[in-house]
Amino acid sequence: MLPGILFIAALFVYPCIYGIMLSFQTTKGVPTLSNYAKFFTDPYLRDTIQNTFRIALPATLFNVIVSVPLAMGMLQRPNASRWVNTLIIIPITLGTVLVAEGLLNYLGPLGWLNRVLMATGLIDQPVDVLHTYKAVIISLIITGFPFSYLLVLSYLSGINPKLGEAARMLGASSGQRFWFVTLPLLAPGLAITFCLAFVLAFSVFPSANLLGNPSGDSHVLSVAAAQAAFEQYNYPLASTISVITAVVELLIIGVVLGWRNRLFRGSTAGTKG
Amino acid sequence: MRATALPQFEMLELDGVGREFAGVAALSDLNLRIAKGEFVSLLGPSGCGKSTALNCISGLLPPTSGSVNLDGQAIHNVPPERRGFGMVFQNYALFPHLNVRENVGFGLRMQRLPKSQVAPRVEKALDRVQLLSLGNRRPGQLSGGQQQRVAIARALVLEPQLMLMDEPLSNLDAKLRREMRTEIRRLHDDLGLTTIYVTHDQEEALSLSDRIVVLRDGTTQQVGTPDQVFMHPANAFVAGFMGYRNSFSMTLSRASGLPILSGEGLQLESTGVDEVMDGPVEVRIRPDDVDPQLHVNQLQVLCDVVEYQGKHFEVLGRLPSGQEVLLRTSEPVKPGDTITCGVSPDRVLVFPKDTEGVNDAPDGSNHPDIMVPTP
């Protein structure tokens, strides 16, 4: 066990602690709180929190919520689900950078999306989405959806189908079955899925740089940290921004998991029989 | 309040009901008429189609052939949630996130009954299955027997006109099974229910039912009262399933004037050969009908394994020909002893030998002598 502990200590624990301590120093090594003060007094830095939220939250909510009806539909159609699942997983293999690059063309004024929308007469002017935070949200949805979908699919398939049958025999319509049986048993899993998907989305970086407006509405926490580290060579500030990112994520996760604790979290595979 | 779409019925009819999965018939041509108030068991080994039949009746599984009718009206257009049938599942399917009261009251809440009407009905149902003190527990905190009673109460509280039970006792220990068996029949009688009960346990079927339907590989083997099925099994499979565990391949011949069964070094007489032609037959005898005190139809048995059962011994032995014999005796015997037993001729069942072998037919399609008395 010792090699494992040493590995984790060296490659994870030590850098973390080093980073945290660095955030409380000036560039010359003098202990200080000035980095944090600078962050919260400079609007350009402070606004990164809301910029990141404005991108990460809608993308995560979309991914988690849309996964549910799709996964439910696929569970009832095993033949179709093979194709659909394969299609959905493909973006994972492409990675965030490739997807962002592709969207540069796709979402542009002469790109596929605008051409189709204008040809069908739905819009007159090209949609101005590229190089705004909206394009970043689209990119996050494409790369983040497979992850949420697979998680939701696995939670849903863990719910004993006999429970739905029993509900039917007790007179429940399909809407009632979803609301009174499926959703309560799925909710703890959705909370976990949300936490994981949110953390992924919150650390958005390449999409923000490539597709967004990294000095404007897509000036997210990770971009600010990268600028501090690699453009200003201010590693303490970069560490500060990273610590703040982690704290915000922990707060959100804490709230969601706290709510989850009040739900039934036992096995959904069926009573012991 | 959203009521069931179906009116009270007098007769439930299964008309040629069948269900295929990918070309394989899990159930074929089930014909059955069940009158209001009857307790009918579907009995058979695993894979015989009994649960499939129950699911076709409930509407959870549409039949691929035939129809389910109530008083002559086909009900295939009525979805299961509107049929008003109660169902108890083999693994109970209790809602794990709801407590006992909420489980039992679930159906009433789905009908949007006000809470003031739900609560007393739930209490009454819990009282009927003796679970009043456990109302606030979750299923995960209950024993198997308690869960099963919750499942029954949950179905009963809706006052269904038909109760469907899918092997509800198979996950319980023997003592609890016997107790709950009596409870189930008592509830059926007290509440004037109509019940269709699926089981693989012939003892359960015999003790609970007004009529038994024996199934094998999706086809009906026999329909009759417990006495009919037990004393006069229609074929060798039903006989074997009802406990006629001794099986001898013999030949029936009337050449000498009287019908004689010969084979395995034995000469046997039987009173049940009137409908059977000369030729190869399968002889079936219950172990408890092989009696050391009897001298007719003698068998000489070398005992191999002796099991103590308290009031008697179960003995597995061999005839001189090597054929296995199972018998029961109250006299103590030891392995290696040779005993002489007899069987009364009216307890020797004789069935024509199927060319395919009735016990081994994989698709079960070749069954002579299927007796289906009209209900």
Question: pLDDT tens for residues B212-247?
Answer: 999 999 999 999 999 999 999 999 999 999 999 999
The angle, 0 to 180 degrees and rounded to 10, between the axes of the packed helices A43-76 and A183-202 is 140
Neighbouring C-beta atoms of residue A154, cutoff 10 Å: 12
Sheet containing strand B24-35, edge to edge, reads B24-35, B11-21, B65-70, B73-74
| B190-219 confidence digits (pLDDT tens) | 999 999 999 999 999 999 999 999 999 999
**One-letter amino acid of B157:** V
Average pLDDT over residues B305-333: 92
d(CA A167, CA A183): 13
Question: Cβ contact (<8 Å) for A181 and B95?
Answer: yes
Superfamily of domain A44-260: MetI-like (1.10.3720.10)
The answer to whether B368 and B289 have CB atoms below 8 angstroms apart is no
| A140-192 confidence digits (pLDDT tens) | 999 999 999 999 999 999 999 999 999 999 999 999 999 999 999 999 999 99
- Helix, strand, coil share of chain B (percent; to 5): 25, 30, 45
Q: Is the pLDDT of residue B252 over 60?
A: yes
Beta bridge partners of B25: B20
Question: Cβ contact (<8 Å) for A184 and B97?
Answer: yes
Residue A176, both tokens: 């009632």
Question: Cβ contact (<8 Å) for B81 and A171?
Answer: yes
- pLDDT at site A124: 78
Q: Is the pLDDT of residue A259 over 70?
A: yes
User: How would you class A255 by CB atoms within 10 Å of its CB: exposed for 0-12, middle for 13-18, buried for 19 or more?
Assistant: exposed
Neighbouring C-beta atoms of residue A257, cutoff 10 Å: 14
pLDDT category of residue B1 using cuts at 50, 70 and 90: very low
Question: Cβ contact (<8 Å) for B147 and A273?
Answer: yes
Torsion angle of C-alpha atoms A267, A268, A271, B1, degrees rounded to 10? 140
- pLDDT at site B4: 64
Q: Is the pLDDT of residue B369 over 80?
A: no
Query: Closest Cα of chain A to B60: distance in Å?
Result: 7
Q: Is the pLDDT of residue B357 over 80?
A: no
pLDDT category of residue A264 using cuts at 50, 70 and 90: confident
DSSP B283-352: EEE-GGG-BTT--SS-EEEEEEEEEE-SSSEEEEEE-TTS-EEEEEESS---TT-EEEEB--GGG-EEEE
Q: What is the mean pLDDT of chain A?
A: 90
Share of chain A above pLDDT 70, in %: 99
Which of B140, B158, B164 lies closest to A170 in CB terms? B158
d(CA B113, CA B119): 10
Question: Which of B295, B270, B286, B235 lies closest to B261, judged by CA?
Answer: B270
Q: Is the pLDDT of residue B356 over 70?
A: no
B60 in reach of chain A (CB within 8 A): yes
Residue in B closest to A183 by C-alpha = B97
Instruction: Delineate the domains of chain B, giving CATH numbers in brackets.
Output: 11-229 (3.40.50.300), 232-352 (2.40.50.140)
| A77-116 confidence digits (pLDDT tens) | 888 888 998 898 888 888 888 888 888 888 888 888 888 8
Q: Which helix (H) or strand (E) holds B27?
A: strand B24-35
Candidate from A46-55, A124-133, B129-138 with smallest mean pLDDT:
A124-133
pLDDT category of residue B371 using cuts at 50, 70 and 90: very low
Question: Cβ contact (<8 Å) for A170 and B110?
Answer: yes
Identify from B55, B100, B106 which residue to disrupt to test chain A contact, counting A C-beta atoms within 10 A and taking the largest count: B106
| B50-59 confidence digits (pLDDT tens) | 999 999 999 9
d(CA B150, CA B144): 10
Q: Is the pLDDT of residue B64 over 90?
A: yes
What ipTM is given for this predicted complex? 0.84
Q: Is the pLDDT of residue B343 over 90?
A: yes
- pLDDT at site A10: 87
Would you list which residues of chain A are within 8 Å, Cβ to Cβ, of chain B? 160, 162-163, 165-173, 176, 180-181, 184-185, 263-264, 266-268, 270-273
Domain boundaries, chain A: 44-260
- pLDDT at site B43: 95
Beta bridge partners of A67: none
Which of A165, A172, A264 lies closest to B96 in CB terms? A264
Question: Cβ contact (<8 Å) for B60 and A169?
Answer: yes
Q: Beta strand B211-216 with B219-224: parallel, antiparallel or unpaired?
A: antiparallel
Contacts of residue B94 in chain A, CB cutoff 8 Å?
A: 166, 271
Average pLDDT over residues B179-190: 93
